[in-house]
Amino acid sequence: EVQLVESGGDLVQPGGSLRLSCVGSGFTFSSHWMAWFRQAPGKGLEWVANMNPDASHKSYLDSVKGRFTISRDNAKNSLYLQMNSLRAEDTAIYYCARGNLHCFDFWGQGALITVSS
Amino acid sequence: DIVMTQSPLSLPVTPGEPASISCGSSQSLLQSNGYNNLHWYVQKPGQSPHLLIYLGSNRASGVPDRFSGSGSGTDFTLKISRVEAEDVGVYYCMQVLQSPITFGQGTRLEIK
């Protein structure tokens, strides 16, 4: 059974940093593109970043470029999102998702990030 | 950026009746291989998004055959042949043809 489990969600002050983790199981993690998406309270879905299996290609939403870094450790079946200089508008549930079938076919349950003083 | 536009944004449906959601893109999503890079998801209350249809018209594993996707280029449709109570949720279209990956605004399906 494919599983993606995010962790690291928390309340953080504006300007602060946080690292999200996502552990995958039930599939060959090292063979798949992976991505982070987010959903602000009461809002729609938004792509944040993605990366290819060997981490040679990474893409970011313009509003997070220079502040967020996506990375992975295939030996640990893990995906990460390092978030720096956090803003109130980054408040959201963050989902990791597996790339497959030319889209992202499986999503984790999400981790809540609240940026507030 | 490719802008995705869904309609309607709210869709009240009587159980057993059909439902249809439209999704338009500001640029063609048709790839040179003949596939449309357009995908449909549903987010049921309190859950993470779940893939329904990929590449325009292919049902994901475990998705009932009352769900179907059609369209090409810039105009796409998700149809539910007979709505059931469990179909309540927000439906999103998404394109992965070009970065940034973008979504439609979402269509909230509710039961009358």
Q: How many CB atoms lie within 10 A of CB B11?
A: 16
Mutation target among A33, A65, A103 for the B interface, most CBs of B within 10 A? A103
Residue B35 to residue A50, Cβ atoms within 8 A: no
pLDDT at position A37 is 98
Q: What long-range pairs does B7-10 form, CB within 8 A, spacing at least 24? A: B7/B107, B8/B107, B9/B105, B9/B106, B9/B107, B9/B108, B10/B107, B10/B108, B10/B110
Q: With beta carbons under 8 A apart, name residues in chain B contacting A45.
A: 41, 43, 49, 92, 94, 103, 106
* Contact (CB, 8 A) for A12 and A87: no
Is A35 in the B-facing interface, judged by CB distances under 8 Å? yes
- What is the block-wise mean pLDDT of chain B (112 residues), using blocks of 10 residues? 98 98 98 95 97 97 97 98 97 97 98 94
A76-113 tens-digit pLDDT: 999 999 999 999 999 999 999 999 988 999 999 999 99
Mutation target among A45, A46, A62 for the B interface, most CBs of B within 10 A? A45
pLDDT at position A102 is 87
pLDDT at position A63 is 97
